[in-house]
Structures are given as C-alpha cells and as structure tokens.
Amino acid sequence: MEQIISDLQAAGIGEIRQNESLALHTTWKIGGPADVFVIPRDKEQLVSLIRILYLHGTPWMVIGRGSNLLVADKGIRGVVIKLGDALESLRFEGTDVYAGAAYSLIKLSVLAAKEGLTGLEFAGGIPGSVGGAIYMNAGAHGSDMSRILKRAEVILDTGELVTMQAEEFHYAYRHSILQQQRGIVTEAVFELEHGDRTEIAGAMAAYKDRRLRTQPLQVPCAGSVFRNPENHHAAKLIEEAGLKGMRVGGAEVSPMHANFIVNTGNATAVDVLTLIQEVQRIILDQTGITLVPEILVAGER
C-alpha cells in the first residue's frame, strides 16, 4: 500500500489516513481498521482517486454516513473512501431537487417539506446519505428511492464520470444495479411534486412520532437488519418467535423493535453476525421462511 499512498499524496488527493478504525464511521460503532482511509476534498479529487486505484488494481469501497453497514472486526483491506463535505451540495429548481451524494437523507426530506415539495416524506427517518440510499433503493412507509429518482451522476470503477437515468438503475426491492456494477454516486436529481405544506408536515410528524415510539434510536444500530419477506414483516416474525432481547455478546435483538439489532456497548461484528444467523435459523425452523439481511457486510472475517 506504500506505493498507493505515495501516488495519492503526489496527486494531492484529500486527507489520507492509515489504519483508521471504521467503528468511528458507522452507526453501529463496530468495525476494524481500513488499510487506507481517504476523504477527497471535491468531486475532481474523487475521480482522480478512482482512476489511480483502477490503474493499480487496488480494492476499494465507499462509505457515506455508515448506516446499514457492518464492518468486520479485522477491518477492510485496500482503500475506504469517505464522502465528506465536498459532496453535500443541495439546490432546488422547481420540483427538481439536486442533492450531493453525502447529503443527509433526513435533512433533505425536511428541507424539501419546507419548500412545499412532496415525495420525500418516507425518507424522514432513514439515517443514511443520498448516495447510500440510491445504492440500496432505501425506502419506508410504502415508498422508496425508485419512485422519485430522475437521474444521477456516477463515477464508474474505471474513473469515468457518467449520467445514469433512473431506469438504468434497474431498481427492485432494496436493490440497484450498483450492487453488481460498481460505481459511486456523486449527485442525484429527484423529481418531486408541489404539495400542501401542512399535509406534508403532518405526515412527517406522524412518521417521526412513530419512529420515536418504536425504534431504538438512542443506542448504536443500523436500522432494519432483515428485508421483509413477501407478504410478511420481518419484525413481526421475529417478535412472534419470542426473540426480542435475545443476545450474543454485546449484540441484542432490540426489545423495542425486533428487526433492529443494537450494540449494547461492546458488540463485535462476530456477535452481530452470529445473532443474525441464529435469528435466521429459528425463523426458518418455526415458519419455513428464510430471512434475508438487507445490511451490507464488508471486510475481512
């Protein structure tokens, strides 16, 4: 990695750290170190960074706000790219919203509501970034990113900068083409609609109240762990199996919301993965249903 670091330094690529603990950069507060951790200062540096990594054949991954992500205890080999302030732009043009990949999805939904634009209410409780939400087709309350995305600017793994239309993402439930075809979203354009500010604010307030009552937001977690099986809710299946409060090490099935696994203070990635597997085993034995995780697991196990 010495040559990679030397080349990145020579190219003036942002902030470069070695052996950075990724527990500092995930909402679960879990994860070992990244060999090299880079925070580009702007989009141009990000493009240059990807081109250098492509030429060297160096493995890399990108993180935004670190939600929906479990990093292995041994960390991540290669380069981890953190999208920082340079990709937190936001502007409104009529009903079109231009948002940088690192922009907070919660903040975006709030500001869209203040503009009297409807369509993003569902995202008011999703603690990730715009880029991560597009990658995962994040959703809630019966809607998701596929409903509102118009197009996005993406850096391919070769370093080529392209514009992808919404249909090119081949969206499905918690899935986009970026999970197979590597790329980094830099900016997205969402197509919203004019709405009644009072109605929008009321819907968002109701969603927020429900989240506060039903989700363990005061402890480190990563949102919903399992996808909802067809015609079922994962949380309901887990709760009916009596698994709320089940623990492995420092990881616990939340007593508040059965589809959340929380870090009670000293959980490891192994604890979380073991608990996930045990929940899957029990639900499969009792119901014949296979629960599929919707979290991203990364790193050396």
Task: Please say whether the beta carbons of 122 and 139 come within 8 A.
Answer: yes
Amino acid type, 42: D
Cα(129)–Cα(87) distance, rounded to whole angstroms?
A: 10
Contacts of 267 (CB under 8 A, 6+ apart): 28, 30, 249, 250, 251, 252
Domains of the chain: 2-85 (3.30.43.10), 88-199 (3.30.465.10), 216-298 (3.90.78.10)
Using alpha carbons, list the distances in angstroms from residue 57 to 53, 76, 79, 157: 6, 16, 11, 10
| Cα–Cα nearest to 259, from 68, 106, 128, 129 | 68
Q: Please give the pLDDT value at position 210.
A: 85
Separation CA 26–CA 64 (nearest Å): 9
Catalytic residue among 48, 146, 224, 254: 224
**Cα 156 off chain centre by:** 19
252 is catalytic: no
pLDDT tens-place string over residues 175-190: 999 999 999 999 999 9
Active-site annotation holds for 174: yes
Which ranges constitute the DSSP H helices of 57-166? 105-114, 130-136
Question: pLDDT confidence of 300, banded at 50, 70, 90?
Answer: confident
Angle formed by the axes of helices 43-56 and 2-10, nearest 10°:
150
pLDDT at 86: 79
Res 99: pLDDT: 98
Q: Write the pLDDT tens digit of every residue in 102-154.
A: 999 999 999 999 999 999 999 988 888 999 999 999 988 889 999 999 999 99
* φ, ψ of residue 160 in degrees (nearest 5): -75, 135
Q: Write down the catalytic residue from 121, 174, 187, 254.
A: 174
Q: How many residues in total does the chain contain?
A: 301
pLDDT tens sequence across 216-256:
989 999 999 999 999 999 999 999 999 999 999 999 999 99
Rounded CA gap, 6 and 8, in Å? 6
Task: Examine the pLDDT at 272 and tell me if it is beyond 90.
Answer: yes
Q: Which pLDDT does position 214 carry in this prediction?
A: 86
Look at residue 141 in the predicted model and tell me its pLDDT. Answer: 84
**pLDDT value for 237:** 98
The predicted structure's pLDDT at residue 282: 98
Task: Render pLDDT for 67-106 as a digit per residue (tens, 0 to 9).
Answer: 899 999 999 999 999 998 879 999 999 999 999 999 999 9
**Rounded CA gap, 220 and 15, in Å?**
27
Model confidence, pTM: 0.91
